[in-house]
Amino acid sequence: MPARKTPLKASVPASKVPTVPPNLRSARGVANWTEAAQWLRARGIEDIECITPDLAGVPRGKMMPTSKFTSNTSLALPSAIYRHTISGEYPEETESFRYEPRDSDLKLVPDLSTLSVVPWETDPTAQVICDIVNSEGHAVSYTPRNLLKRIMGLYRDRGWKPVVAPEIEFYLVAKNDDPDYPLHPPKGRSGRSILGGQGYSIAGINEFDELIDDIYHFSEKQGLEIDTLIHEEGPAQLEINLRHGDPIELADQVFMFKRTIREAALKHGIYATFMAKPMQSQAGSAMHIHQSVVNIETGKNVFTNPDGSPSQEFFYFIGGMQRFVPNALAMLAPYVNSYRRLAPNMSCPVNNAWGYDNRTTAFRVPVSDPQARRVENRLPSSDANPYLALAASLASGLLGIMKKVDPTAPTEDSANEGSIDLPRGLLEAIALLEDEPAFEEVLGKDFIDIYAGVKRGEFETFMQVISPWEREFLLLNV
């Protein structure tokens, strides 16, 4: 990993430097509105962005002066923002997919524990992630952050708390203003485009040393903690690993990291993309999720017995992953492009097998001591909404425990030699999501109906586009 550089500090008169009281020096989060006002004032913040993830994980919200934010202003968004596609279109209504008749307001409720600066803005700006409630103040069940909170509540009812650690892969690509042309790796500090085969290469990381310094700098300013950073197999493909912790906090961090990495890349005149499969014949980008469950009262790992052996809950959790994750794949691989990654011979599992330290399986159990026993879900792609991916994965494991689903025997050899055991496209994945009765009890019918309707709308939009493959092979041959 490249050495951290100490940024140059401009000479600023002492009278102009804000004084931050010791109890407000945290880069991320405050306890209440009084502290929020003090935190913002101490940093000279002029504007604040109140943001929330839509179904795609895209930040939506409002920007306002700090004085308005701290004056108990009511913030609202139309309910329709949770019913449009990634291209901004609104699908036709069906029997199950309906619009709110009045398109009434949903309210933004700032979660002050997420308050942080926006380090790439030139004017002093802060940001805060918001939850969504209706006019009566009740949580809106189909919004991503609330859905993950719902799954957390199901674990809490059993006296448990999930612990997760995401790993996010992404590509750096040269700027591309014409979508008809393929993407290409950018030029690094050597002046040449980086090639593939750079897995874990320090030289590959050093090609983008200054950009990575900005990622670290932006992250530190927001209170986001990177565990490790590596170069992956694809050309200019990087991976960031986050420290394990609370699923809501980690989903928030992935949500913010995506934005941070894109902004750092744009500062250097290139793009960062979290598309699952941005370049033909190159490996796709995943968002692997490490998962364990602890007893809230004792802090002990539920997957481990007192003698250090794996518990029955551990095996049921794996059984649930095998049984239910394929039916939830639309939440882990949410776009047509996602299924281009889930293909044979592309360094990606195309099965629902599990195994010990076996990267060809969908569900890998890493080598660890008993208290760190966990299950890694290797199926999610980096284009997934982190809140929905975590909700789907944790819900699947919990259903396995609730329904006592036994797993298969662990796979000892490669699990990618046989047929593909997963949906091969978005429409099939949507149908499987809708057809699984158990998901209604954990995810809720409202979410499933809205999500499936939006995804079908996206597929229909995709079908209107004629691809280069069709022009290449059909134009003169059929």
Which pLDDT score, from 0 to 100, does residue 19 have?
65
Tell me which residue of 235, 112, 138 sits closest to 184, measured CA to CA. 235
Q: What is the pLDDT of residues 223-268, one digit of tens each?
A: 998 988 889 889 999 999 999 999 999 999 999 999 999 999 999 9
Q: Are 135 and 102 in contact (CB under 8 A)?
A: no
Low-confidence ranges of the chain (pLDDT < 70): 1-20, 23, 196-197
The first and second tokens of residue 268, run together, are 């250097």
Interatomic CA distance for residues 88 and 99, integer angstroms: 15
Phi, psi of 452 (to 5 degrees): -65, -40
Beta-strand relationship, 363-365 and 354-356: parallel
**Residues of the chain by 3-state class (helix, strand, coil), percent to 5:** 35, 20, 45
Phi, psi of 8 (to 5 degrees): -70, 140
Q: What is the pLDDT of residues 100-113, one digit of tens each?
A: 888 889 999 999 99
Compute CA 47 distance to the chain's CA centroid, rounded to the nearest angstrom: 26
Q: What is the H or E stretch that residue 445 is in?
A: helix 445-463
Q: Are 91 and 453 in contact (CB under 8 A)?
A: yes
Tell me which residue of 302, 39, 256, 46 sits closest to 159, measured CA to CA. 302
Please report how the helices 386-402 and 312-324 are oriented relative to each other, as an axis angle in degrees rounded to 10. Answer: 120
Which pLDDT score, from 0 to 100, does residue 18 have?
56
Interatomic CA distance for residues 58 and 450, integer angstroms: 17
Q: Are 87 and 116 in contact (CB under 8 A)?
A: no
Which pLDDT score, from 0 to 100, does residue 195 have?
75
Dihedral angle at the C-alpha atoms of 365, 163, 350, 179, nearest 10 degrees?
-140
Interatomic CA distance for residues 177 and 424, integer angstroms: 30
Burial class (CB in 10 A: 0-12, 13-18, 19+), 60: middle
Dihedral angle at the C-alpha atoms of 134, 138, 141, 147, nearest 10 degrees?
120
* Rg of the chain in Å (alpha carbons): 23
Residues 6+ apart with CB under 8 A from 376: 288, 289, 290, 291, 363, 364, 365, 366
Phi, psi of 36 (to 5 degrees): -60, -45
- Other beta carbons within 10 angstroms of residue 478's beta carbon come to 6
Q: Are 124 and 96 in contact (CB under 8 A)?
A: no
The first and second tokens of residue 219, run together, are 């992250």
- Given CA atoms 426, 428, 429, 430 in this order, what sign does their dihedral have? positive
Q: What is the H or E stretch that residue 75 is in?
A: strand 75-78
Q: List the alpha helices (DSSP H) in 17-109.
A: 33-42, 66-69
Which pLDDT score, from 0 to 100, does residue 344 have?
83
Name all contacts of 185-188 with Cβ < 8 Å and 24+ positions apart.
Answer: 185/235, 185/236, 186/236, 186/270, 188/236
Tell me which residue of 382, 375, 379, 421 sits closest to 398, measured CA to CA. 375
Tell me which residue of 52, 97, 40, 57 sits closest to 76, measured CA to CA. 52
Name all contacts of 421-425 with Cβ < 8 Å and 24+ positions apart.
Answer: 421/326, 421/350, 421/351, 421/352, 421/353, 422/326, 422/329, 422/342, 422/350, 422/351, 422/352, 422/362, 422/379, 423/326, 423/329, 423/330, 423/339, 424/339, 424/342, 425/336, 425/339
